Amino acid sequence: MSKTGINSNDLLTFNFLSDPQLSPDGKSVIFVRRHITDEKKYRSKLYIQTLTDKQMHPFTQGESNDTNPRWSPNGKTIAFVSDRSGKNQIWTIPAKGGEAKQITFLKNGASNPLWSPDSQQVLVTTSLGEDETLDSEDKKEEKQLVDKVYETEKVNYKADGAGLLPKKHAHLALIKKDGTIVKQVTAGPYDHSAGNFSPDGKQVLCYANQFDNPEDAFLSDVYIIDLDAEEQTKITNSDGRYSSPLFSPDGSKISFLGHDQSYKNATLIEAYVYDLATGETMCVTENWDVVAADTAINDMGTGVQPAGAVWNSASSSLYLLGSTHGKTQLYTASLDKEITCLCGGDRQIYAFSPSENADAIILAISDPTTPGDLFSFDKNTKEEQRLTAANEDWLAEKTISIPETFHFQAHDQSTIQGWIMKPVGFKDGEKYPLVVEIHGGPHAMYSYGFMHEFQVLAEKGYGVLYINPRGSFGYGQNFVNAVRGAYGQGDYQDILDAVDYALETYVWIDHERIGVTGGSYGGFMTNWIVTHTNRFKAAVTQRSISNWISFYGVSDIGYFFNDWQLKASLLDNPDKLWEFSPLRYVKQVETPILILHSENDLRCPIEQGEQFYVAIKQQKKTAKLVRFPASDHNLSRNGDPSLRIKRLDEMTGWFAEYL
């Protein structure tokens, strides 16, 4: 029997691996395996595996979700986050196995466990209201409807995925491993995120926006907190967004990531080192025109909290990820500002974990045939060993369409990178329809990583074309900045140039059957395309933007995003916002368009899709609106599994009807 391609329902079969943590002795790795249950619900469990074993073993059991595992420095205990008590709290379990023990009972839960060097205490993150303390009781009181009225005087009062923000702030707390509360480490009306402990355990690092008006500053600084004196020292200059601070093993320096916002959110992330003896900071990547982070997009749930710029055991260099030309690779950065690719390849390395006491580094990797697996990399021999094959058994029964990468010259001679996938069952001499995919951001990057959505389209008989137009990360600072103030200009032309290149290069494409789709910024661009050209026979716009004027007030980021990205403010230049709005040109739409939008999307609120839909339908043109309940901006990546499948089926059904 011939193999079939990957379909939408195969989402229920995937295993998603993330957050690998190598043991202090370098012999074992613990990680999170997320899968979808028979009830079509996500379930995350901890798994463990030795580096000489070919089998991953379940480490936690039950119906809870267990995440964020962290080894104690002595290797005897693992702390992790679990909702088994009803809300996320910190639990510990012996590394050799046994019963898990809950060590936090905080009213608002806890996350992000970080061990002290002596393995006796854990630094955790919790949220606290103005009058709350660590020992505030969790009273389950039935509130009257009037008590649920939401009042705010802030402009950033909501966030996609969180809804209306509670009047609480993220703080750090120190807990003994037996559960005894030691102290609250941070305070004030600010949100704090932890770095790590100093080697002597007397200090911790954190980063926070402690400006009087945090919603206007958009900055964050790195702080050293003295645990005994209960004093904090700011080591950055309040001129940018800095995060992920880490003490070096010898305690003499601190690394951190960030940028000075020269190009707002289009600024490349850099790696910095602060010298505690001299008080001087240097940017170790200042001569490297590469973003020091994984910016690759996929729909496999590989997004994890960045490890930061991680020190080697000698405190002489840093390990860090870099995204360039569709690849995320592992690099080393020396204190002499020399950058070396340690582990490359045509793939996405989305997480890594080195060990101070061993030569191994654990890599989490996605590539065109691997949704996500773990590998052991030897720093000395440069040899790589695959540890897991989380999806190998069922993928062996499937035909996978392998992307072919290409480069072409755009209208202004810029070099643009893209990929094309043939439909499953491809036969020479036959013609096939093509779907053009456009990523969100726009400051993100399509990569060599695995994309379920693209495989579903290929299985349905479509070729898939995707590129990194100007505005994408991965091609230097000038390239990523080129879209700001010019949405729908060079980026739009890059996409049309890519289609022209594909039609000239790949004879199997049916010139009369080309579709287009994209989400978020890609949804904006899909709307822009159908209002500016009729060359596409069908379109599917997802979580899109149609009206920048209303976006300003309804999006959780609108009040600053318009100024940063369009270089126009509603208060100063509303005409420019309207000029960039696809809704202004909606009378020119002739392409049949499917509008997919989530009810609870606060990043690109559903009114953006509604406006576009009503304006098209009022003209008696072909359009369909599909609204997904209880879903936010991340439906395609982390939404309800049944709705993710429904979304894919709606998309492929529309293309089947109109392509």
How many percent of the chain have pLDDT more than 70? 99
Residue 523 · residue 547 · CB < 8 Å: no
Catalytic residue among 171, 439, 452, 633, which?
633
**Residue 1 pLDDT level (bands cut at 50, 70, 90):** low
- Per-residue pLDDT, 214: 77
Q: Flag whether pLDDT at 307 surpasses 90.
A: no
The Cα 557–Cα 603 span in angstroms is 7
Q: Are strands 384-386 and 270-275 parallel, antiparallel or unpaired?
A: unpaired
The Cα 203–Cα 205 span in angstroms is 7
- Per-residue pLDDT, 234: 98
Q: Flag whether pLDDT at 147 surpasses 80.
A: no
- Per-residue pLDDT, 302: 63
- Per-residue pLDDT, 305: 73
Most confident of 143-147, 209-213, 226-230: 226-230
Q: Which domains does the chain have, with CATH numbers?
A: 8-134+153-394 (2.130.10.120), 404-658 (3.40.50.1820)
Residue 170 · residue 192 · CB < 8 Å: yes
Burial code of 439-453, b = ≥16 C-beta within 10 A, e = fewer?
Answer: bbbbbbbbbbbbbbb
3-state secondary structure of 282: strand
- Per-residue pLDDT, 138: 73
- Per-residue pLDDT, 417: 98
How many percent of the chain have pLDDT more than 90? 92
pLDDT per residue as tens digits for the range 503-557: 999 999 999 999 999 999 999 999 999 999 999 999 999 999 999 999 999 999 9
Q: Which residues pair with 467 in a beta bridge?
A: 418
Q: Which residue is listed with tokens 């392998």?
A: 402
**Residue 185 pLDDT level (bands cut at 50, 70, 90):** very high
3-state secondary structure of 455: helix
The Cα 480–Cα 472 span in angstroms is 5
pTM: 0.97
Nearest to 543 by CA among 420, 627, 616: 627
Instruction: Give the CA radius of gyration of the chain.
Output: 25
Q: Which residues pair with 243 in a beta bridge?
A: 257
Tokens of 260: 């000075």
Q: For residue 410, what is the DSSP state?
A: -
pLDDT per residue as tens digits for the range 51-110: 998 889 999 999 999 999 999 999 999 999 999 999 999 999 999 989 999 999 999 999
Q: Out of 16-20, 181-185, 217-221, which region has the weakest mean confidence (pLDDT)? A: 217-221
Nearest to 446 by CA among 422, 417, 411: 417
Q: What contacts 213, CB < 8 A, 6 or more positions away?
A: none
Q: For residue 4, what is the DSSP state?
A: B
Establish whether the linkage from the previous residue to 442 is cis, with ω within 30° of 0: yes
- Per-residue pLDDT, 148: 85
Q: In what order do the strands lie in the sheet with 463-468?
A: 404-409, 415-421, 463-468, 432-438, 509-519, 538-542, 593-598, 623-628
- Per-residue pLDDT, 304: 67
The Cα 414–Cα 476 span in angstroms is 12
- Per-residue pLDDT, 373: 97
Active site residue 316: no
Q: Flag whether pLDDT at 215 surpasses 80.
A: no
3-state secondary structure of 511: strand
The mean pLDDT value for 360-387 works out to: 96
Active site residue 8: no
Q: Dihedral, CA atoms, 437, 441, 445, 448, nearest 10 degrees? A: -50
pLDDT per residue as tens digits for the range 466-485: 999 999 999 999 999 999 99
The Cα 220–Cα 240 span in angstroms is 6
Catalytic residue among 116, 520, 544, 550, which?
520
Average pLDDT, the chain: 95
Q: Which residue is listed with tokens 């191994």?
A: 360
